Amino acid sequence: MRSKLSAIIVALVATLAFQTPTQARDLVVGIGGDIETFDVCCANFIQSHHALYAVYEPPVIYPTIEVAGGALVGDPAGVVGTVFESWEASDDGLAYTIKIRKGLTLQNGTPINAELVRYTIDRNLNTPGGGAWLLKNIAFVTKPPEVVDEYTIRLVGDAASPMIMSQFYMTSSAMLDPAIVQEHATDEDPWANEWMTRNVAGGSGPYKIVSHIPDQEIVFEAWDGYHSGKAPIDRMVWKIIPSAAQRALLLRSGDIDIAEGLGEEEIKSLEGASGVQIVKAPSGNQVYFGMNNSIAPFNDVLVRRAVSYAINYDDILQNVYNGDAGRLWGPLSETSGMSLGESAGYKQDVAKAKELLASSSYGGETVTISIDSAKADRELIAVRVQAALRDIGLNAEIERVTPAVYSERKVAKQLQSTVDSMLAWIDDPNYSLSLVLQCGVYGNYMDYCNEEVDDIIKAGWGESDPDKRRAMFDRAQELIIADAPWAFLAQPDFKLAMSSDLGGYVHYANEIPRYHNYHWK
State yes or no: pLDDT of 375 exceeds 80.
Answer: no
Q: What is the pLDDT of residue 67?
A: 73
| Residue 14 CA neighbour count, 13 Å, CB half | 6
Residue 79: which residues within 8 A CB-CB, separation 6 or more?
Answer: 60, 61, 62, 63, 165, 166, 168, 169
pLDDT band at 74 (very low <50, low <70, confident <90, very high): confident
- Average pLDDT over the chain, rounded to whole? 90
CATH topology of domain 57-196: Dipeptide-binding Protein; domain 1 (3.90.76)
The reported pLDDT for the residue numbered 338 is 92
pLDDT value for 374: 67
Q: State the pLDDT at residue 48.
A: 85
Mean pLDDT to the nearest integer, 325-349? 93
Give the DSSP H/E element, type plus range, for residue 491: strand 486-492
Domain boundaries of the chain, sorted by first residue: 57-196, 205-282+494-520, 286-492
In this structure, of 59-73, 198-212, 405-419, 482-496, the range with the lowest mean pLDDT score is 59-73
The model's confidence at residue 63, banded by pLDDT at 50, 70 and 90, is: confident
For position 36, what pLDDT does the model report? 80
Spatial separation of the C-alpha atoms in residues 469 and 446, rounded to whole Å? 26
Question: How many CB atoms sit inside 10 A of residue 385's CB?
Answer: 23
**pLDDT higher than threshold 90 for residue 463:** no
Closest alpha carbon to 252 in 236, 267, 241, 238? 267
User: For the domain 205-282+494-520, what is the CATH superfamily, name and number?
Assistant: Periplasmic binding protein-like II (3.40.190.10)
**Is the model more confident about 356 or about 427?**
356
Secondary structure letter of residue 356 according to DSSP: H
Mean pLDDT, residues 64-81 = 78
- Cα dist. 442→36, 68, 126, 423, 429 in Å? 21, 37, 19, 15, 17
Span 319-347, mean pLDDT? 92
In 3D, which of 81, 33, 66 has the Cα closest to residue 505? 66
pLDDT at 238 over 60: yes
> Which is higher by pLDDT, 173 or 75?
173
Position 86 scores a pLDDT of 96
**What is the residue-wise DSSP string for 48-71?**
HHHHHHHH---SEEPPEEE-GGG-
Give the separation between CA 265 and CA 263, rounded to whole angstroms: 6
Nearest to 126 by CA among 39, 38, 36: 39
The yes-or-no verdict on residue 10 having pLDDT over 70 is no
Taking 80 as the threshold, does the pLDDT of residue 22 lie above it? no
pLDDT class for 489, splitting at 50, 70, 90?
A: very high
Residues 87-110, mean pLDDT to the nearest whole number = 95
pLDDT band at 69 (very low <50, low <70, confident <90, very high): low
Amino acid identity, position 135: L
pLDDT at position 123 over 60: yes
Mean pLDDT of 116-124: 96
What pLDDT is stored for residue 413 in this prediction? 94
| Percentage of residues of the chain with pLDDT beyond 70 | 94
Output the pLDDT for position 21. Answer: 41
> Quick check: 242 pLDDT over 50?
yes
Q: Is the pLDDT of residue 197 over 60?
A: yes
Judge contact between 177 and 202, C-beta under 8 A.
yes
Distances (CA, A) of 132 to 127, 445, 448: 7, 21, 24
Which band of pLDDT confidence, cut at 50, 70 and 90, is reported for residue 8? very low
What is 286-492's CATH topology? Dipeptide-binding Protein; domain 3 (3.10.105)
Q: What are the pLDDT digits (tens) for 202-230?
A: 999 999 999 999 889 999 999 999 999 99
Strand 417-422 with 217-222, pairing: unpaired
* pLDDT tens per residue, range 432-455: 999 899 998 878 999 999 999 999
More confident call, 435 vs 188: 188
pLDDT at 17: 33
Work out the pLDDT band at 44, boundaries 50, 70, 90: low
Mean pLDDT, residues 306-323 taken together: 95
Q: What is the pLDDT of residues 253-289, one digit of tens each?
A: 999 999 998 888 899 999 999 999 999 888 889 999 9
CA-CA distances (angstroms) from residue 507 to 6, 58, 62, 156? Answer: 49, 17, 10, 32
Predicted confidence (pLDDT) at residue 314 exceeds the cutoff of 90: yes
> Helix, strand, or coil here: 394?
coil
